[in-house]
Amino acid sequence: MPNINPNFTEYRLPYTLSEFPCILRFCRFPKSSVRSWLPHGLFSATVNKMFGLRLTSRFLAPFIVPRSNMIEVMLGRLKIAHRTPMMGQKCHLSLVPIVLDKSTHGERAYDIYSRLLKDRIICLMGPINDEIASLVIAQLLYLQSEDKKLPIHIYINSPGGVVTAGLAVYDTMQYIKPPVATWCVGQASSMGSLLLAAGAPGLRFALPHARIMVHQPSGSAQGQASDIKIQAEEIIKMRKVLNGIYERHTKQPAEIIEKWMDRDYFMTAEEAAAVGIVDAVLKEAPAVTSKKHDHGTSNVSGKS
């Protein structure tokens, strides 16, 4: 294996230009906000053989612009093989599809998540950590600045994550003025279920095969006995905080919440609706209303 500078990460796409009918126009580095423009004439010659590009960032986010107005279906199937020098293991990062939005002013290319954000939709997918929480909070605050009345929709498919990161998102959801609708697709476990339950009354939904799980917070500690005691007491305090949040949003008595939280407690979408974690299980899309971007929820109550 060649000696790779730890400041570099190697990205390769095993496709020739004939198999990859799109032009890579620029690459964006979120951590440093630096954009490196790649001239098509020079770059395509490399792609014709075999695409291999080494970039000075571990956080590559490619933006693909199609040749024509037709979005290539194959774009969603392409993957980047990513080898980290430290671990020496490969993982695959899916390319983010690009869509075109047409208006009277012309066409504009968006990555799919930015286009959804334009419709006041936030995707909370995967583990909840500080980075994900920061992105969700920033989107919530931005959408509030755009319109303080139209609802914001958060789609959740998460196994949970860091308690403090989840509570940061929770507090922001309660703080902002627009009602926040929550939608569970796949699973909402641990902190994911808390954020699902924290949606505005009447705006908490789950799809039929979604799974919801609640449990008490967990952690680990090492060191002197006094240090371990401090950490244990903090976890107990955090459990009381989380129990109170579930109690507030589900209207269940404290004894029921404590029983749920003692161990992993799994629920189907229907069971979650019966105990007040969600308001409804949706088997078909809500009726479309005349208001833009409200997902048919304009006739449902907002914040409590």
pLDDT digit string, tens, across residues 241-264: 999 999 999 999 999 999 999 999
Q: What is the pLDDT of residue 15?
A: 38
Q: Are 170 and 146 in a shared domain?
A: yes
* pTM for the full predicted model: 0.68
Q: Are 198 and 264 in a shared domain?
A: yes
Q: What is the pLDDT of residue 19?
A: 37
Q: Are 100 and 66 in a shared domain?
A: yes
Q: Are 68 and 186 in a shared domain?
A: no
Q: How many domains does the chain have?
A: 2
Q: Which of 68, 62, 100, 64 is nearest to 82 (CA)?
A: 62
Domain of residue 224, CATH code: 3.90.226.10
Q: What is the pLDDT of residue 265?
A: 97
Q: What is the pLDDT of residue 6?
A: 41
Give domain status of residue 293, yes or no: no
**Given 50, 75, 110, which residue is the final one in a domain?**
110
Domain that holds residue 18: 9-110
Give domain status of residue 294, yes or no: no
Which residues carry out catalysis?
Answer: 190, 215
The dihedral region occupied by 117, where left means phi > 0, alpha psi between -120 and 50, and beta the remainder, is: alpha
How many C-beta atoms lie closer than 10 Å to residue 271's C-beta? Answer: 16
Give domain status of residue 300, yes or no: no
Q: Are 91 and 162 in a shared domain?
A: no
Q: Which of 22, 35, 183 is nearest to 100 (CA)?
A: 22
Kindly list the averaged pLDDT for each block of 10 residues, start to end, along the chain of length 304: 39 39 36 35 32 34 35 34 40 69 84 94 97 97 97 98 97 98 98 98 97 94 92 95 97 96 97 98 72 52 46
Provide the sign of the torsion angle of the four alpha carbons 202, 207, 213, 218, taken in this order: negative
